[in-house]
Structure 1
Amino acid sequence: MSEIEANTGLVGFSVKQACDLLGITENYIRRMEDEFGFTVDRALRGTVMNRVYTTEKIFEIQHLRRERGQLAGLRKPITLSVYVKKGGSAKTSVACNLAVHLQLRGLRVCIIDNDPQGDATSMLGYDPDRTPEELIEEGFSPDLAVKGHFGNLLVPSSGRFQQLNLEEIIKKPYGEYGPHLIPAEESIEDLGPALSAQMHSDLRYGLFIEKSRKGLYQHCDLSKYDVIIFDNNPAGTPLSRNALVASDMLVCPIRFDKFSFRALTRLSEWLQEFEDTTGRCPELVAVPTMYVRNRPVMQRKLAQVQEKFPDNVVAEQLHHSADYLKSLDDNVLLAFYQSKTPANSTQAMREVCLEIYERIVRISEAKEK
C-alpha cells in the first residue's frame, strides 16, 4: 500500500477499474500477471474473493510495460508550469492530476511544489506545517512531514539553505513507480530574495534543471524524469518567474470571470515580451475550469477565450460538479475518484490531461529536431 493510500483511505480498484486507468483489456491484465510475475491482492467483496489493484500496483504495471518496450518515454524531456496570476482556478488540482495521468501514460514525472503554501504537497497527502514529532503525537506517520524543498537543491544559487540530496527530500505518494514530488513549505519563500540577488536571476531554475538532467550535480540527478511539473503560486514572485522561464509549456487553468480572463491576457503579453527578448517562448495551454454547462454567460466567455487564444484552449472543460467537490473532501485526486455518474468530472479531467499529453509529445519531438 502506498503512502497516500495508507493516509487518505483511498481504496483499491477492481480489475475493470484498473484496466480503465491503464487503457488495456481484462484478458491482457490477467496475462500480464503470469508474464511479468507480479502478484495482486485479493479482497472479499460480497461472497467472492476479487482482485484488488492498488495505485502502487497500477503504476508498477506501467513501469514494467515501459521496461518491456510496450510504452515509450519522450524523445526529449519537458518542463512545464501550471500557472495563472489568479487564485481559485483549480491550479493545484490540474497540476496533481496531470502528473498522475502522464505517469499512467508511461512517462516518468516529478512535480515540484513551487508554492510556499504547499498546496500540491498537501493534496498529495503530506503535511508541510507539522514536524515529525507533532505528527507522531497526533497518531500519524512521521514520513508525512516535509524535509526540505527545491531551495535545498538549488543551494549553489541561493546560499540560504542547507544542501540536501534529492533522495532526502523526494516524496513518493504512489510508490516508487508513481509520480514523485519535491515538496514545499513556507521557508521556500526565502528563496525569492536569494534568486533576485543573482545575476540573470530569472534563469536560475532553468540552468539548474538543465545541468541536473545531464547528471552534473551529484546531489540532484533529474535525468530519469521525462516531465517536470512546477505548481506555482499565483503571485508573480521570483519563484514563479523562474519556473515560467524554465518551462517548455504553460498550463493555465482559467475560471470564467473577468479577472481570470484578464490574468491570462497579461500572461500572454508577458510571453510575447519574453519571446522578443530571448527568442523562445513556452507553449500556452488554457484549461477552462469551474465550467457550468448550459449557461449562456459561460458559453460566451468560452467563445471569447477561444477567439483570443486560437489553438491554445483544450477541447474539454473541467466542470464545477459534485464529483469535484467530493473528491476534494475525500482527499482523493479526480484521476482516481470512483464516480457513480456516467458523465463526470473524472472523465473530463482525463480528456484534458490526454490532450496535454499529446501536446507534450509534439513539443518533445520538435525539440529533437
Structure 2
Amino acid sequence: MAYDANQETYPYADFSSLYLPPQFAAEALGLNIQTLKAVERDHDLDIRRVPRGAISARAYTVDDICKIAFLRREKGLTKGLSRPITISMFVQKGGTGKTTCSVNLPMELAFQGLRVLLIDNDPQADASSMLGYDPDLTPEELEEMGISRDRAINGHFGNLLGISNMFPAMTLEQVIKKPFGEHGPHLIPAEESLDDLDIALGAANNSDFRYAAHINKARAGQLPHCDFSGYDVIIFDNAPSGSLITRNSMVASDFLVCPVRMDRFSFRALSRLAGKLAQFKEDFQRSPEIIAIPTMFIKNRPRILANLTRLSELFPGRVTDGRLFFSEDYSKALEEGVPIMAWKHGSENSLGAMRGVFSEVLTRIRNTVGLG
C-alpha cells in the first residue's frame, strides 16, 4: 500500500512547501471559511498568498492548520483530554492499512488541537519512510542525492530508554523529527537496529514494563533527556508480530487501535488477537480499550458485509461505525509522498471517510477518558 517496488524508495515530499487551499484547511479544522478568516484575523496570523491565475489566494501548510488548531484550543474553543493517553496500532496481519492509519491519525488529532507524538516501533520503519525519513541512507549519502541531511534517521526509541549499551544514549531533541513543523505531529523514527531492542529488553528486568515505566517518568518530567510532558497523545506504530517491543507498547497503552481488512485472513489474526488479549489481561492486569476499524471496505459485497458482522461479534461495541474504503487515492497520494490527510485531491471515499473514522475514534477516546 505504501511501498514502490520499482523505485525501492519513498518520495521525499517537502511538507513546508505543500500548500493547501482555504477550503481544505477549513474542512480539516471543522470550520467554515468565514470562521477560519476570523481566527486568522483575531490572532494576527499571516497566511501566505500564492498565485492562482490572475489573482492570488491564501495557501496553508499542515503546520499552519495545526497552529490554528492549537490557538483555538488555547482560547477554549476546542477541548483536549482529561489526561494524556497512549495508543498502540496493532493487528497480527500485514496489509491492513495499519501504518497508513498510524501516520494519518496523528494528523487528525493535531487538527483537533491535540499535541501528538508518533513513535515508530517497527524496525522496518515504514511510518518513518511514509513521513519522508530514510532509515537506510546516511546524511552524506542523502546530500549526494540532493536531499536534505535532515531526512536521515539519527536514533530511535531504544536510544532514549537507557536499558543497554547497544544503543548510545541520546536526548529527545537529538532523535525527534518534526515533519510538519512545531505544531504538527512529532515523530520518533525507527531504523533496522531497533530490532536489537527486542534482545536488550529480553535481558532487562521487568522486560514487559520498560516502555510503560519510561513513558510515565517522561510525562512526569522526571527524565531531563526525554520530556514527554507536552504531549496529549503518544501513538506507537507496531510490526504485525508478538515481539517484546510490540508487547511493551501494548502494556503501556490505554487503547489498541486495530485496522482490520475485511477478508478471512485478517479475521484469523483478529481471532488470535481476541485470545491474546484475554491472556494479556491475565498476565498484566491491564485491559486496553479496543477500537477496531474496518479497512479496505467495498460496498455491497455480501462476503465483506458478513465479515463486518463477524468483526462486530468478536468485539461488540468496539468497532467503528465508519469504514475506510478501498481506494486508489491512497497509492496516488503515496506516489507524491503525501499522507492522505494532507492530500488535497482526496475524495469523499478516501479523505472524507478517513476524517469521519478518525473523528469517531477521538469521540470514543473522549467518552472513555473525558474532556480536558
TM-score normalized by structure 2? 0.93
Q: Provide the identity percentage.
A: 47
Paired residue for 2:100? 93
Q: Which residue of 2 aligns with 1:57?
A: 64
Distance (whole Å) between structure 1 residues aligned to residue 327 and residue 370 of structure 2:
36
The answer as to 2:226 corresponding to 1:220 is yes
Q: How does 1:291-306 map to 2 (within 5 A)?
A: 291-306=297-312
Q: Which amino acid aligns with 1:104?
A: F
Deviation at 1:291, TM superposition (A): 1.3
Provide, for residues 230-282 of structure 1, a one-character-per-residue CA deviation record: whole Å limited to 9, x for no partner: 00011111110101111111011111222211111211212112222333200
Secondary structure of residue in 1 paired with 2:123: coil
Residue range with higher mean Cα deviation, 309-318 or 222-231: 309-318
Determine helix, strand or coil for the equivalent of 2:14: helix
The answer to whether the 8 A contact 2:110-2:184 is kept is yes
Q: How many residues align?
A: 362
Unaligned runs of 5+ in 2: 1-10
1:323 corresponds to: 329
Query: 1:212-361, aligned counterparts within 5 Å?
Result: 212-339=218-345, 341=347, 343-361=348-366
In the aligned structure 2, how far is the partner of 1:166 from the partner of 1:113? 14
Unaligned runs of 5+ in 1: none
Find the counterpart in structure 1 of residue 6 from structure 2.
Answer: none
1:1-369 superposed matches below 5 A: 7=14, 11-155=18-162, 157-339=163-345, 341=347, 343-365=348-370
**Offset at 1:159?**
3.2
Amino acid at match of 1:48: I
Letter in 1 for 2:51: L
Q: Give the CA deviation at 1:336.
A: 1.7
- Residue identity in the other structure for 1:146: I
Cα displacement string for residues 124-183 of structure 1 (whole angstroms, at most 9, x for unaligned residues): 11111110000000000000000000000001x233211111011110011000000000
Structure 1 counterpart of 2:7: none
Q: Is the 8 A contact 2:47 2:60 kept in 1?
A: yes
Work out whether residues 5 and 11 of structure 1, in 8 Å CA contact, stay in contact via their aligned partners in 2: no
- For the Cα contact (< 8 Å) 1:78–1:360, is it kept in 2? no
Q: Distance in 1 between matches of 2:203 and 2:286?
A: 24
Number of the residue aligned with 2:3: none
Equivalent residue letter for 1:45: R
Q: Structure 1-normalised TM-score?
A: 0.94
The CA RMSD over aligned residues, in Å, is 1.8
Alignment deviations for residues 206-238 of structure 1 (CA, whole Å, 9 cap, x no partner) = 111011100111100101100000000111111
Residue-by-residue CA offset, 1:17-69 (whole Å, 9 max, x unaligned): 21111111212222222211110111111111111111111111112222222
Cα deviation code 1:273-318 (max 9, x no counterpart): 2222333200111111111112111111111111221111111111
